[in-house]
Amino acid sequence: MTSGGDAAGMNPAVKAAVERARQLGMKPFVIYDGLEGLIDGKIKAATRDLTCEMSHRGGTLLRSSRSKRFFEYSYREQAYKHLKDNNIEHLVIAGGDGSFRALNDFFNDFQVPFAGIPATIDNDIAGTDYCLGVDTAQNIILNCIDTIRDTAQSHHRAFVIETMGRDCGYLAMTAAICSGADILVVPELPYDLESIKKRLQPQIEEGVGYVIAIVAEGTKKAQELTDWLSTNTGMDTRLTVLGHMQRGGAPSARDRLMGARFGTRAVEALHSGNINRIMVYHDGHHGECALDQVAGQKYHVSQSIIKLCEDMTR
Ligand code: F6P
């Protein structure tokens, strides 16, 4: 099943998990609508005509949900009945750490082992350097920024572009580095308008007639910075909130590959009795983490990325 915000790469991960399960002699099922669907018994045997559509499709064909009900015991009990009725003994879930925690509660109640696959464009899950969906989102964001740069340059305008990421600035930081932005505002780095002013001065004096600023949604500073740029640069200024277009789109090659690896490993972990683990990618290697190293832990953007960004914030 897939859970939480959809992320490109979820479909390839499901396909890989289903196919590996078959190879290992298991009978794979899919659960639609995430944890909500598990409560409501939206369970079907996985068919080849579903999985053959999965390598190239964005979003999640199994659909997803953010379930509040699953945190109540009575609904988990209902979910367990559906699993029993279908003789389902293991679960694989692609989602965020809230989804992993939910399945851990479920394990404590009914001892159904699970494997977790990190999937969120926010890239904010502790223990892994990579979550499915990130590369695809980064590419979409970069295309948008490159496009906006053309119109910014044509009209001598300052553009503030807000990226998703919840409380994490990873998407904004990598977008700012890769697009050559002038200003970056993220939760992880100081926000100081005086420094931004000093930084922009030589650029404006040397005749660069436009400004590109990337702001992470978690800072809630996009509108404020837009107003400030308008007053302090004398430029016509626009704010573009990229919004949900960052979550859609066909998975990139990286997300397809990572999805295939995470999906395969999740099933193999369960098959070998290595239960309740989260698949991770760390320092260039695939591995697995215990839930308590992931859920409730804070994700830190790597120092090497932060260092590359410092100059855009001061
Ligand atoms: O967690 C993924 C994410 O896209 C965040 O970046 C964003 O803040 C949130 O989900 C948006 O949630 P929703 O799709 O429920 O509006």
CATH code for the domain of 294: 3.40.50.450
- State in Å: Cα 168 to ligand 1 middle: 12
Whether residue 185 sits in one domain with residue 162: yes
The pLDDT value recorded for residue 314 is: 73
- State in Å: Cα 166 to ligand 1 middle: 7
Q: Does residue 245 have its Cβ closer than 6 Å to ligand 1?
A: no
Q: For ligand 1, what atom is nearest to the CA of residue 166?
A: 8
Q: Does residue 166 have its Cβ closer than 6 Å to ligand 1?
A: yes
Q: Is residue 271 part of a domain?
A: yes
Q: Does residue 247 have its Cβ closer than 6 Å to ligand 1?
A: yes
What DSSP assignment string belongs to 4-62? SS--TTHHHHHHHHHHHHHHTT---EEETTHHHHHHHT-EEE--HHHHTT-TT--S-TT
Whether residue 83 sits in one domain with residue 94: yes
**Which residue, judged by its Cα, is nearest atom 8 of ligand 1?**
166
Task: List the pLDDT tens digit at each of the 314 positions of the chain.
Answer: 999 999 999 999 999 999 999 999 999 999 999 999 999 999 999 999 999 999 999 999 999 999 999 999 999 999 999 999 999 999 999 999 999 999 999 999 999 999 999 999 999 999 999 999 999 999 999 999 999 999 999 999 999 999 999 999 999 999 999 999 999 999 999 999 999 999 999 999 999 999 999 999 999 999 999 999 999 999 999 999 999 999 999 999 999 999 999 999 999 999 999 999 999 999 999 999 999 899 889 999 999 999 999 987 77
- State in Å: Cα 252 to ligand 1 middle: 20
* Rounded CA separation 140/120 (Å): 15
- State in Å: Cα 294 to ligand 1 middle: 19
The pLDDT value recorded for residue 313 is: 73
Global ipTM: 0.98
Question: Hey, which of 2, 64, 121 would you mutate to test ligand 1's pocket, going by the most ligand atoms within 8 Å of its Cβ?
Answer: 121
**Which residue, judged by its Cα, is nearest atom 10 of ligand 1?**
5
Tokens 């925690």 — which residue?
Answer: 101
Q: Does residue 169 have its Cβ closer than 6 Å to ligand 1?
A: no
Q: Is residue 314 part of a domain?
A: no
Nearest to 125 by CA among 148, 93, 154: 93
Q: Does residue 59 have its Cβ closer than 6 Å to ligand 1?
A: no
| pTM beyond 0.90, yes or no | yes
The pLDDT value recorded for residue 295 is: 87
List active site positions.
122
Whether residue 40 sits in one domain with residue 122: yes
Q: Which two tokens stand for residue 219?
A: 């800072």
CATH number at residue 172: 3.40.50.460
Please give the residue range of the domain that contains residue 98: 10-133+251-300
Whether residue 99 sits in one domain with residue 22: yes
Q: Does residue 122 have its Cβ closer than 6 Å to ligand 1?
A: yes
Whether residue 154 sits in one domain with residue 15: no
Q: Which of 247, 274, 309 is the last residue of a domain?
A: 247
Whether residue 120 sits in one domain with residue 25: yes
The pLDDT value recorded for residue 216 is: 98
Q: Which two tokens stand for residue 34?
A: 């995430």
